[in-house]
Amino acid sequence: MNQGGGTAAPILELQDVYAGYGRVPVLHGISLAVQPGEIVALLGANGAGKSTTLRVISRLLAHTSGSVTFDGADVARLTPAALVRAGLVHVPEGRRIFAGLTVEENLLVAGYTLASTRKARKRLAAVTDLFPILGARHNQTAGLLSGGEQQQLAIGRAMMLEPRVVLLDEPSLGLAPLVVESLADTITALNTDRGVAILLVEQDLALAERVAHRGYVLETGTIVSEGLADEVITDEAISQIYLGADRGAP
């Protein structure tokens, strides 16, 4: 387990949040918090509501009741763009890079909120320092990058905005084990070296346990377990969720 996190007031907090799609409820009164400088893992099987939670936080989906606050502000009063400018950035599942643009163009597009080209170029230099492969391949079409390189590009786009909190959705999806090891180092470095708080949605339990300070487990839109990452991940409930065991079985 990554050691860190603090006892300050949460920079991101959900309290009794309900949300869904049309008449289909997905989240049933979930509450969680992320403190400054902390990595929190949100775990659960497919369909548990993990990605929906991130969409609610980033205002891509409105919640029906409860509250979501970022740095003390009610996010319901902010647009997704305003949240990005305030320092909350969502890296969605599947990376969603602009495959037909070059690596550099992908990064510069992410700097649309910056006040000047000079500032965008300065951020670009900082990102390529963090991810040297992106600098080496700045003129390469992004769609030709490997899966691991595309994930670096997706995270690099987020870092162009100097975020305070990153919502990171299934970053290990489709990556080889050795690439996942490198990804774990990257996530840890963003947190320890850059001071970025991270809410990590992940099904790779080894990755989550390695990088996270704390964890929450979602099951059918309800948080069923929470605590220190290693305690939550080794809890019997996790095995039941991922192995599909019957909770009522002996």
For residue 140, is it within any domain? no
Report pLDDT for 36: 96
Instruction: Report residue 21: phi and psi, to 5°.
Output: -120, 110
Check if the beta carbon of residue 200 is closer than 8 Å to that of residue 155. Answer: no
What is the maximum alpha-carbon separation in the chain? Answer: 64
Contact 212, 38 (CB under 8 A): no
The residue to which tokens 């305690």 are assigned: 231
Confidence band of 248 (pLDDT split at 50, 70, 90): very low
SS3 state at 31: strand
* Window from 52-66, 80-94, 102-116, 184-198 with minimum mean pLDDT: 102-116
Distance CA 57, CA 19 (A): 11
Per the structure, the complete domain to which residue 66 belongs is given by: 12-87+163-243
Q: Which two tokens stand for residue 144?
A: 């030709």
pLDDT in tens, 86-110: 999 999 887 788 889 999 988 988 7
**H-only helix segments in 62-213:** 80-86, 103-110, 117-130, 132-136, 147-159, 177-192, 205-211
Rg of the chain in Å (alpha carbons): 18
Burial of 226 (0-12, 13-18, 19+ CB in 10 A): middle
Q: Domain for residue 94, yes or no?
A: no
Q: Is residue 21 part of a domain?
A: yes
Kindly state whether residue 224 falls inside one of the protein's structural domains: yes
Look at residue 225 and tell me if it is in a domain.
yes
Say what the pTM is: 0.88
Cα(247)–Cα(226) distance, rounded to whole angstroms? Answer: 17
Determine, yes or no, domain membership for 104. no
What are 4-63's pLDDT values in tens digits?
Answer: 544 578 999 999 999 999 989 999 999 999 999 999 999 988 889 999 999 999 999 999
**Phi-psi category of residue 83: left, alpha or beta, with phi > 0 → left and psi -120 to 50 → alpha:** alpha
Handedness of CA 216, 217, 221, 222 (dihedral sign): negative
Given this model, what pLDDT does residue 234 score?
73
- Span 197-208, mean pLDDT? 92
Other C-beta atoms closer than 10 Å to the C-beta of 160 total 22
Number of domains the chain is built from: 1
Say how far apart CA 16 and CA 151 lie, in whole Å.
32
Query: Sign of the CA dihedral 65, 31, 45, 172?
Result: positive
**What CATH number should be reported for the domain holding residue 79?**
3.40.50.300
> In angstroms, how far is the first alpha carbon of the chain from the final one?
30
To the nearest whole number, what is the mean pLDDT of the chain?
87
Task: Please count the helices (runs of H) and the strands (runs of E) in the chain.
Answer: 10, 10
Q: Checking DSSP bridges between strand 197-201 and strand 39-43, what pairing results, if any?
A: parallel
Residue 7 lies inside a defined structural domain of this protein: no
